[in-house]
């Protein structure tokens, strides 16, 4: 018996005492559990509970590559009252409890993404089957939105697979593939996607017998005594929670309340009856859903979705595909970029002046694969296959058949122009040439090239294997087709591309250098590197500015600062102490040969550089500077508000499309703390009046580099914010 599809896309078919529900949400690319969907599903479950003779219910999706993507995030974003949030969670509990309480077994067939509420619905079923489809991903990512699982995830998952394994999924929010889910015990069977229907029928026949059911349940808990000793008693849970909390605090510094609250709820309720645990989950979900951190993280989720859909330019047809790539320059960046191509299964040709340099590029790529192998992301066979995609040369042999070449040589305008001109004579007329420059204007680099329409900036961030951002920078003559092709390529490489217009420093470095420069100015005037780093990491930055300067290289930062000071004048006045440290004392940072910079770097250890106080003291005397003390607020405002001021100028100059693109670039490019929503959301939280007033005060005390730009003055007069409405 086949019933008509429901308004929200549920199709029911009953054959031989088996009810089959296929969910295919109308007019949506993914299945999601909106309130209307949940209410309709509840009615169907109630209807099936009253149907005589049913022996099994099978739930599956009608969308390829998707089971259920989760609850409706828009509904979470709209929660403003903790009680209303708890009520929404409790309503979901009641509906899924009805599914669990059906008088016959239920099977969730997971072929594709099964996340958040989708997994919670599957957990409410008696059994779960996953396919080996590469798109099958199973997880509870709610902490990434600043909340905890609200449809029973904190209760059903630990009861199913045990507290330690459940915590590894819930506290990180990271999904697992079908194979890993089967190993963890989240699903009861892993089947080939091509034969899913036959295997589901076979599994259904297996669980009809008592022996079959017993075998499935035994696999979930193969060592009951060991599990009781290690997790199913109060002491074991307390110890597990203590270790997990210590790890969380080390990773998040307590700035993200959701994983800590999830841990607390699981520890406190695991020994309780299910209904009591669900009630606790609902209360805490409601409290977290109204927090500014949750709203910020949800906005970032929407932002990431916008960037995924952004093609970079309007063109006819699909962007050009890249089949072969080249990298010019085999340093750390060049080797990392070549690795990224091979990771995406794109053959890469790596060129440098001599074989020793080429070898270092190979070594850089091999080291990254070594790290991935150590983390069990690849086995040796897979690493060997990837590395065979990388070839090296000291001339331009093999460059005649490349679709794109990325230049990653020394940051010098004259040298780059010379090398790019030579490169242009060895590639096809349709080959895209991209520069990995971090500061030099793309239009100036393109001068003299035969096809400037196919020249573009493609700025990767270091280290390439960890930093998700790529700035895509068209020059004055770059074609829309080239922009679209590089944006598509960046996504294929697993990066998030943000298109920015050409200017000295582009976007991220144009905002970052004033931040670093101001930190050094504070040091010149009396602050200590330790104090400044403490304040900024306390704010949420992944590392303090002086630690970052040592990581980047003090000489590299100084060269970039000189370029930006020449371009932007007084507001980016170069902190001259950097030049003194580089040239007079050879303090270059962690990779400077001697490991000396603002700190001493000894392997993974970082300690204060005992030479620095005398060096800074001599510099102050030479420049007639009398050191003074600074409050934490002074340090924070001087470093951050100078970035806000420059960000406002970037919007005025249309360097970046909008505040959303700017904030996403800063989060992915320098690790601006996501829980604050981005640089401009932070500014909005302070208020335009406060930002303008504070910058004016700083300008009066320290000079015109802090003078509020025109956009900030207009925002203050008109009582406007950078974000006038939530981006969705």
Q: For residue 593, is pLDDT > 80?
A: no
Q: 529: closest CA among 516, 510, 512?
A: 516
Model confidence at 3: pLDDT above 90 = no
Topology of domain 325-499 in CATH is Rossmann fold (3.40.50)
Confirm whether 471 is a catalytic residue: yes
Q: Show the beta-strand stretches assigned E in 560-654.
A: 599-602, 605-608
First CA to last CA across the chain, in angstroms? 41
Contact 146, 258 (CB under 8 A): yes
Angle (deg, nearest 10), helices 545-552 and 529-539: 100
Question: 607 pLDDT exceeds 80?
Answer: yes
**How sure is the predictor about 231, in pLDDT bands with cuts at 50, 70 and 90?**
confident
Residue whose structure tokens are 């009805």: 98
556-566 mean pLDDT: 89
Tell me what the mean pLDDT of segment 508-517 comes to: 95
Q: What is the C-alpha separation between 92 and 85, in angstroms, rounded?
A: 11
Residue with tokens 């209807």: 47
508-718: CATH, from 3.30.420.40, 1.10.1040.50, 2.70.98.60, 3.20.20.140: 1.10.1040.50
**Predicted pLDDT of residue 2:** 65
Residue with tokens 């990392």: 336
Q: Would the pLDDT of 4 be above 80?
A: no
Work out the widest C-alpha separation in the chain, in whole angstroms: 93
Q: Where are the domains of the chain?
A: 10-290, 325-499, 508-718
Mean pLDDT of the chain: 94
Nearest to 591 by CA among 463, 465, 471, 467: 463
- When pLDDT is cut at 50, 70 and 90, the band that residue 725 belongs to is very low
Instruction: Name the token pair of 368.
Output: 């990254």
Which one is catalytic: 281, 471, 518, 646?
471
- Which residues of 565-655 form beta strands (DSSP E)? 599-602, 605-608
How many CA within 13 A on the CB side of residue 113?
Answer: 18
Q: Which CATH superfamily groups domain 10-290?
A: 2-enoyl-CoA Hydratase; Chain A, domain 1 (3.90.226.10)
């Amino acid at each position: 018996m086949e019933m008509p599809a429901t308004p929200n896309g549920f199709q029911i078919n009953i054959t031989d005492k088996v009810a089959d529900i296929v969910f295919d949400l109308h007019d949506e690319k993914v299945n999601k559990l909106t309130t209307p969907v949940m209410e309709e599903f509840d009615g169907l479950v109630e209807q099936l509970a009253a149907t005589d003779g049913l022996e099994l219910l099978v739930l599956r999706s009608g969308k390829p590559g998707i089971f259920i993507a989760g609850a409706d995030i828009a509904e979470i974003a709209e929660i403003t009252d903790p009680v209303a949030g708890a009520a929404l969670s409790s309503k979901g509990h009641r509906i899924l409890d009805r599914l669990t309480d059906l008088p016959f077994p239920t099977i969730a067939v997971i072929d594709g993404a099964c996340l958040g509420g989708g997994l919670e619905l599957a957990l409410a079923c008696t059994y779960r089957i996953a396919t080996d489809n590469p798109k099958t991903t199973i997880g509870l990512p709610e902490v990434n939105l600043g909340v905890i699982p609200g449809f029973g995830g904190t209760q059903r998952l630990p009861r199913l697979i045990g507290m330690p394994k459940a915590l590894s999924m819930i506290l990180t929010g990271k999904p697992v593939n079908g194979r890993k889910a089967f190993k963890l015990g989240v699903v009861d069977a892993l089947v080939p996607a091509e034969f899913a229907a036959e295997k589901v029928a076979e599994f259904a026949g297996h669980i009809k017998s008592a022996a079959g059911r017993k075998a499935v349940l035994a696999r979930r808990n193969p060592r009951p005594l060991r599990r009781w000793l290690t997790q199913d008693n109060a002491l074991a849970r307390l110890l597990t929670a203590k270790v997990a909390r210590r790890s969380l605090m080390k990773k998040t510094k307590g700035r993200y309340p959701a994983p800590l609250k999830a841990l607390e709820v699981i520890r406190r309720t695991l020994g309780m009856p299910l209904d009591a645990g669900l009630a606790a989950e609902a209360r805490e979900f409601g409290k977290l859903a109204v927090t500014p951190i949750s709203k910020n993280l949800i906005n970032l989720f929407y932002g990431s979705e916008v960037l995924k859909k952004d093609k970079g330019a309007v063109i006819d047809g699909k962007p050009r595909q890249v089949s072969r790539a080249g990298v010019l320059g085999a340093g750390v960046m060049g080797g990392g970029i070549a690795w990224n191509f091979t990771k995406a299964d794109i053959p890469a040709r790596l060129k440098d002046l001599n074989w020793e340099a080429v070898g270092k590029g190979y070594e850089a790529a091999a080291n990254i694969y070594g790290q991935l192998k150590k983390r069990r992301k690849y086995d040796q066979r897979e690493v060997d296959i990837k590395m065979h995609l990388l070839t090296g040369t000291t001339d331009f042999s093999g460059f005649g058949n490349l679709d794109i070449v990325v230049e990653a040589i020394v940051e010098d305008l004259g040298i780059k122009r010379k090398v790019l001109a030579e490169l242009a004579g060895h590639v096809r007329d349709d080959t895209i040439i991209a520069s990995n420059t971090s500061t030099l204007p793309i239009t100036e680099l393109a001068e003299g090239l035969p096809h400037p329409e196919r020249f573009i900036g493609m700025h990767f961030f270091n280290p390439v294997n960890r930093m998700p951002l790529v700035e895509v920078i068209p020059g004055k003559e770059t074609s829309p087709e080239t922009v679209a092709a590089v944006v598509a390529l960046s996504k294929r490489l697993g990066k998030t591309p943000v298109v920015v217009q050409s200017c000295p420093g582009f976007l991220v470095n144009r905002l970052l250098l004033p931040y670093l420069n101001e930190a050094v100015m504070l040091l010149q005037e009396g602050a200590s590197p330790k104090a400044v780093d403490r304040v900024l990491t306390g704010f949420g930055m992944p590392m303090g500015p002086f630690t970052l300067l040592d990581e980047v290289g003090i000489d590299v930062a100084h060269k970039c600062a000189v370029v930006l000071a020449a371009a932007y004048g007084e507001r980016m006045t170069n902190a001259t102490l950097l030049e003194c440290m580089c040239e007079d004392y050879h303090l270059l940072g962690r990779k400077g040969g001697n490991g000396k910079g603002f700190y001493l770097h000894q392997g993974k250890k970082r300690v204060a550089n005992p030479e620095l106080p005398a060096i800074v003291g001599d510099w102050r005397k030479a420049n007639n500077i009398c050191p003074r003390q600074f409050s934490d607020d002074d340090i924070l405002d001087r470093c951050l508000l100078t970035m806000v001021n420059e960000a406002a100028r970037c919007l005025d100059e249309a360097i970046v499309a909008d505040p959303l693109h700017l904030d996403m670039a800063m989060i992915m490019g320098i690790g601006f703390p996501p829980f604050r929503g981005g640089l401009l959301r932070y500014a909005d939280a302070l208020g335009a009046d406060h930002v303008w007033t504070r910058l004016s005060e700083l300008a009066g005390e320290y000079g015109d580099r802090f003078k509020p730009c025109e956009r900030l003055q207009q925002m203050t007069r008109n009582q406007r914010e950078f974000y006038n409405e939530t981006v969705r």
